[in-house]
Amino acid sequence: MAQKYTTREQDYSKWYNELVGRADLAEHSDVKGCMVIKPYGFAIWENIKDELDKRFKETGHSNAYFPLFIPKSYLSKEASHVEGFAKECAVVTHYRLKNAEDGSGVVVDPTAKLEEELIVRPTSETIIWNSYKNWIQSYRDLPILINQWANVVRWEMRTRLFLRTTEFLWQEGHTAHATRDEAVEEAEKMNQVYADFAEQYMAMPVIQGLKTESERFAGADETYCIEAMMQDGKALQAGTSHFLGQNFAKAFDVQFSDKEGKRDFVWATSWGVSTRLMGALIMTHSDDEGLVLPPKLAPIQVVAVPIYKSQEDLDKISERFNELGAKLKAKGISFKYDDDDNRRPGWKFAEYESKGIPVRLAMGMRDFEGGNIEVARRDEKTKEVVSFDGVDAYIENLLEEIQLNLLNKAKAYREERTHKVDSYDDFKVQLEEKGGFFLAHWDGTAETEEKIKQETKATIRCIPADREEETGTCMVTGKPSAGRVIFAKAY
Amino acid sequence: MAQKYTTREQDYSKWYNELVGRADLAEHSDVKGCMVIKPYGFAIWENIKDELDKRFKETGHSNAYFPLFIPKSYLSKEASHVEGFAKECAVVTHYRLKNAEDGSGVVVDPTAKLEEELIVRPTSETIIWNSYKNWIQSYRDLPILINQWANVVRWEMRTRLFLRTTEFLWQEGHTAHATRDEAVEEAEKMNQVYADFAEQYMAMPVIQGLKTESERFAGADETYCIEAMMQDGKALQAGTSHFLGQNFAKAFDVQFSDKEGKRDFVWATSWGVSTRLMGALIMTHSDDEGLVLPPKLAPIQVVAVPIYKSQEDLDKISERFNELGAKLKAKGISFKYDDDDNRRPGWKFAEYESKGIPVRLAMGMRDFEGGNIEVARRDEKTKEVVSFDGVDAYIENLLEEIQLNLLNKAKAYREERTHKVDSYDDFKVQLEEKGGFFLAHWDGTAETEEKIKQETKATIRCIPADREEETGTCMVTGKPSAGRVIFAKAY
């Protein structure tokens, strides 16, 4: 009676939506555009958060917390920032409700109108730099290396769970530096932290690079990014790190005295990743049977299912699994033993497959008597019967192998779908036929970039940091190009 | 040139405000009523959060995340809840800004008015029970044991850092159960978790009990609480756990089928603690020299300061401290070595005293040559010179001793200021003269409670769970009383 789910082939977008539901990760709430992140989905996010938080602290950052609300006028202080962020946002205009006179409930109290409206933060540069103004007088107060884990709101008309929601969870780093070089170094370092995390934990290969001017963060002088390829060949921007120059320091008049007493504006960076990473994680590895999780982020790494007819059999099998569970936990491997008598093994197998548990164990009486155990791996959907003796070490290795296999598969997938093109006609045909990433020459102008976007919906994902030295001519205009950039359709 | 700070004796409230600033814990933001939690303050909050989160998970709870916004009509669904929460709150009425026609910045776009206003959550019962409605069909779906770490907003006219702010951080547990007994047990269990945490980690003794009807959470059938005494004798409600009966299930029509197929409404609890705990922590232990922290919550447990004249001396002392630091870290003790040459030892001593670092070490050349080290404890402001050999074990014990000493001091302080009174006149005189907690008989009516509150500003903090069996007569009305309750002025 298994429900029939949509496959990636049939409808990639529908497959994604169904998967988020069947793996019990998140759902839409009744509040337009806002999601509920369910316990299993949140447990994965907590693993992402914990590891990133550790890496931020190891690189010298501290957490802090700034207000949810931003006075409307702050958004206008940095000219390009207001263009990017002051449009679609939640505006608080009143601070009190009162009982409706007709007894129908509560209504807004018109006498409780705010003098200046408050905006629910879409990002916190303005409110944070307004604080930094009071914290920074001299070079001795620098650098400031702060991160914040928070919820932010950007009013979205068309939303998709994790990928684009009105409210989302994220971290935003905001740093202040005495020199330009130090700020650039920080922005690059944090982009590298993101890239390492994506590859080592999410098993998701990413391309590091710079955004073009038109794709930059509103208020940044330079935006570094990591870009990943999803299984439909589209790009997903998984993290960004911005060198903000002195733009916010100037907007909020944040100056410092250097060792010689000379005054200058402070240099800034900001960098962030969000619950969007959950969408990236899902779309990088999952298959038609459900979620596939890299072991390092799986809330449950190993699940064990007993197959039995009598209580006596169950007792024997349970003893083995409990023994094994203790050994795995001692190795730091999370283990769940599912001896729920209300569900049949087949139901459990399907359930844990949907939820992407990396390793599933099963034992029946024949296994028990032969001193064996069945070990199934989620990534390859293979299983084998191995000796129970030493299976803890076997599983430990297997988890490492799965982690690596997922990264290698995703890398191979991306390589296959990354194409060099030299003519615009070729580009257009291949983009529609094959999709993926296209390395092409571009003349460096926003006009050409915009023309390509209008005609093909592909954008420049980034100017790759490690691109080959190769000058050429723009595929559209034939003008000189300093090197290939990556074009793709994107989330 | 030490700044002169206000003492507790001079002005307790001013002492508190100054202390939050000098220990660099938090500050007011430009957004009325909203605070900025600075890195040092946030590091303490992270320690509180991590330990509570561990205890919630050990008792079977999972984290999840629900929307920041609540449709206005949801608040009206539970009759008493709306009375308590729908009044002073932030109301989102619009979702877009646009450029002002006069070029002066941005203004609210009147065409982007929400059909139904959204309230920034003051607490999440309504939005969560609206979700639970879809999650619960049968007894098999129960219990649901979910916690959320989130920001909430309650519009406050008079705010104080940590104690009462418009936006604050908290956790809110929301559980759903098949039986009344199970829900009551859950509410009691979580109040116990709070009490254990307060005593074992915050070194803050608390009285567990029940709130009277008029002090209950809006929508609860019973509110359990933990109450602590601050150093000015006032009470601070440090955590609450509510048995919500079937009130929210009925408001949102959440029913389940039991094993026999019979339909019934679901039973509920909710429970929470907030950044208010930071205020409680500060006011329980700190003194006129600054913050005092229990070692288990201190971001830095041990700080070491070298006292030297030459680089050669510094090198020798540094070697010892680095050796010791490695040993302490191996024991899980956080250690900071402050060899900053820009600050003198006296400045550092005062700084770490302000910040409440539990143990401060110092070493000069005389100590070095004698194989000694100076160990100062923050709680008692004493210091002694001990042998460097084995000082790591000495410090480990000392941290435990400080943790216990702070709890015992706070307990003794509370005992001294807890009085039994039998006449209302005595009560009024002693409340003004001595302050503290008053165990008195009360007739159980809201009228008498209100009269006492109006006349003395004291409220019933709780009906203590472990009160002596002692009937009597109400100190105000002379009517029969089932037992003594605790009166106090409160934060």
- SS3 assignment for A37-91: ECHHHHHHHHHHHHHHHHHHHHCCCEECECCCEEEHHHHCCCHHHHHHHCCCCCE
Local confidence band at B1 (pLDDT 50, 70, 90 cut-offs): very low
Ramachandran angles phi, psi of B67, nearest 5°: -60, 150
Confirm if B440 and B452 have CB atoms less than 8 A apart.
no
Contact B29 A66 (CB under 8 A): yes
Structure tokens, B5: 């700070």
Confirm if B199 and B478 have CB atoms less than 8 A apart.
no
The reported pLDDT for the residue numbered B83 is 79
Identify the bridge partners of residue A230 per DSSP, sorted by sequence position. Answer: none
SS3 of residue B83 by DSSP = helix
Identify the bridge partners of residue A314 per DSSP, sorted by sequence position. Answer: none
Chain B nearest C-alpha distance from A40 (Å): 8
Amino acid at A335: F
For residue B100, pLDDT over 90 is answered with: no
List Cα–Cα distances, A414 to A204, A392, A464, in angstroms.
10, 33, 15
The reported pLDDT for the residue numbered B287 is 98
The span from the CA of B28 to the CA of B21, in Å, is 10
The predicted-structure confidence for A370-387, as pLDDT tens digits, reads as follows 999 999 999 999 999 999
Residue A124 host element (H or E) = none
The per-residue DSSP string of A140-189 comes to GG--EEEEEEEEEE---SS-BTTTB-SEEEEEEEEEEESSHHHHHHHHHH
The per-residue DSSP string of A284-297 comes to HH-BTTB----GGG
Which residue from A29, A71, A151 is facing B151, i.e. has the nearest CB?
A151
Closest CA relative to residue A161, chosen from A52, A24, A43: A24
Comparing B106 with B358, which gets the higher pLDDT?
B358
Contact B92 A90 (CB under 8 A): yes
The span from the CA of B63 to the CA of A291, in Å, is 20
The span from the CA of A490 to the CA of A487, in Å, is 9
Confirm if B268 and B217 have CB atoms less than 8 A apart.
no
Domains and CATH numbers, chain A: 12-90+124-285 (3.30.930.10), 300-400 (3.40.50.800), 418-488 (3.30.110.30)
Contact A62 B42 (CB under 8 A): yes
Mean pLDDT of B30-48: 97
Angle between helices B180-200 and B39-58 (to 10 degrees): 140
In terms of CA atoms, which chain B residue is nearest residue A343? Answer: B140
Q: Is the peptide bond before B143 cis (omega within 30 degrees of 0)?
A: yes
In terms of CA atoms, which chain A residue is nearest residue B38? Answer: A64
B306: left (phi over 0), alpha (psi -120 to 50) or beta: beta
The predicted-structure confidence for B146-159, as pLDDT tens digits, reads as follows 999 999 999 988 99
Contact A63 B39 (CB under 8 A): yes
List % helix, strand, coil for chain A (3-state, nearest 5).
Answer: 35, 30, 35
Q: Is B21 on the interface with A (CB under 8 A)?
A: no
B contacts of A131 (beta carbons < 8 Å): 27, 29, 36
Confirm if A254 and A265 have CB atoms less than 8 A apart.
yes
Structure tokens, B475: 């100190």
The predicted-structure confidence for B206-253, as pLDDT tens digits, reads as follows 999 999 999 999 999 999 999 999 999 999 999 999 999 999 999 999
B contacts of A127 (beta carbons < 8 Å): 29-31
List Cα–Cα distances, B358 to B293, B389, B402, B413, in angstroms.
6, 21, 8, 20
Structure tokens, B44: 């303490």
CB–CB contacts below 8 A, A to B: 182
Ramachandran angles phi, psi of B34, nearest 5°: -100, 135
B contacts of A65 (beta carbons < 8 Å): 36-37, 42, 169
B contacts of A106 (beta carbons < 8 Å): 72, 75-76, 82, 86
The reported pLDDT for the residue numbered A82 is 80
Identify the bridge partners of residue B473 per DSSP, sorted by sequence position. Answer: B480
Q: Which residue has the tokens 């809330």?
A: A299
Which residue from B37, B71, B134 is facing A65, i.e. has the nearest CB?
B37
Confirm if A186 and A174 have CB atoms less than 8 A apart.
no
In terms of CA atoms, which chain B residue is nearest residue A72? Answer: B106
B contacts of A62 (beta carbons < 8 Å): 39, 42-43
Q: Which residue has the tokens 């913050």?
A: B291
Q: Which residue has the tokens 């859950």?
A: B186
Which residue from A31, A105, A342 is facing B69, i.e. has the nearest CB?
A31
Which residues of chain A fall below pLDDT 70? Answer: 1-3
The span from the CA of B338 to the CA of A181, in Å, is 27
Ramachandran angles phi, psi of A30, nearest 5°: -75, -10
Which residue from A43, A96, A167 is facing B155, i.e. has the nearest CB?
A96
Neighbours of A177 (CB within 10 A): 23
Closest CA relative to residue A141, chosen from A63, A235, A258: A258
Closest CA relative to residue B289, chosen from B362, B384, B198, B360: B360
Confirm if A354 and A291 have CB atoms less than 8 A apart.
yes
Which residue from A82, A95, A342 is facing B91, i.e. has the nearest CB?
A95
Residue A265 host element (H or E) = strand A263-265
List Cα–Cα distances, B334 to A55, A383, B327, in angstroms.
18, 46, 10
Structure tokens, B416: 């001294």
Which residue from B36, B62, B91 is facing A131, i.e. has the nearest CB?
B36
SS3 of residue A380 by DSSP = coil
Residues 116..145 of B with a Cβ closer than 8 Å to A: which?
117-120, 127, 130-131, 134, 140
Structure tokens, B359: 């143990």
The span from the CA of A235 to the CA of A489, in Å, is 6
Amino acid at A142: L
Closest CA relative to residue A357, chosen from A289, A284, A274: A289
The span from the CA of A70 to the CA of A75, in Å, is 8
The reported pLDDT for the residue numbered B86 is 73
Mean pLDDT of chain B: 96
Which residue from A68, A88, A140 is facing B153, i.e. has the nearest CB?
A68
The reported pLDDT for the residue numbered B227 is 98
Look at the pTM and tell me if it is higher than 0.95: yes
Q: Is A161 on the interface with B (CB under 8 A)?
A: no
Chain A nearest C-alpha distance from B134 (Å): 11
Structure tokens, A101: 């006179």
The span from the CA of A395 to the CA of A390, in Å, is 9
Q: Which residue has the tokens 């700190």?
A: B286
List Cα–Cα distances, B342 to A94, A135, B320, B481, in angstroms.
49, 19, 21, 65
Amino acid at B226: I
Residue A330 host element (H or E) = helix A311-330
The reported pLDDT for the residue numbered A80 is 80
The reported pLDDT for the residue numbered A1 is 43
Q: Which of A24, A25, A27, A30 to mutate: most B Cβ within 10 Å?
A: A30
Structure tokens, B275: 């950044």
The reported pLDDT for the residue numbered A3 is 66
Which residue from B39, B63, B67 is facing A39, i.e. has the nearest CB?
B63
With vertex at residue A301, the alpha carbon angle to CA A318 and CA A172, rounded to the nearest 5 degrees, is 145
The span from the CA of A185 to the CA of A176, in Å, is 12
Confirm if A285 and A414 have CB atoms less than 8 A apart.
no
Residues 215..234 of B with a Cβ closer than 8 Å to A: which?
none
Mean pLDDT of B412-441: 97
Q: Is B86 on the interface with A (CB under 8 A)?
A: yes
ipTM exceeding 0.90, yes/no:
yes
